[in-house]
Amino acid sequence: QLVESGGGLAQPGGSLRLSCAASGFPFSSYEMNWVRQAPGKGLEWISYISSGGSTIYYAESVKGRFTISRDNAKNTVSLQMNSLRAEDTAVYYCARGGIVATILYWGQGTLVTVSS
């Protein structure tokens, strides 16, 4: 199970930190991602972290503004979002999977709204 938290309202230029708590599987063995979905739009992958945390990727749309991290002792993956823009408004999903385990399994999502 994956449970996201930390969403809410942020001002343009502001920051927000999302967390995803994992349970029911060996978290430290799995890659993790963040995928977002703007209101009424499709799915956009934004970040990946390998099982050990040594390999990280970002979509161009968030590179330099967002930072993914994980704590395998606490079974959590986080997304630090800085310099937020209106276009970052979306439901943010954490999803297990990636290069090794290629099927994505998703949390229920958390809504981030960027507005003044």
Interface residues with another protein (CB under 8 A)?
33, 35, 42-45, 48, 57-59, 93, 98-99, 102-109
Identity (one letter) of the amino acid at 80? Q
Query: Shortest Cβ distance from residue 13 to another protein (Å)?
Result: 26
Here the tokens at position 59 are: 């979509």
Query: Shortest Cβ distance from residue 73 to another protein (Å)?
Result: 26
Which is nearest to 68 in space by CA: 60, 58, 111, 93? 58
Looking at the Cβ atoms of 29 and 108, the one nearer to another protein is 108
Distance of CA 40 to the CA centre of its chain: 19
Query: Shortest Cβ distance from residue 59 to another protein (Å)?
Result: 6
Identity (one letter) of the amino acid at 93? Y
Looking at the Cβ atoms of 14 and 50, the one nearer to another protein is 50
Looking at the Cβ atoms of 42 and 73, the one nearer to another protein is 42
Q: With contact defined as beta carbons under 8 Å apart, do 10 and 112 qualify? A: yes
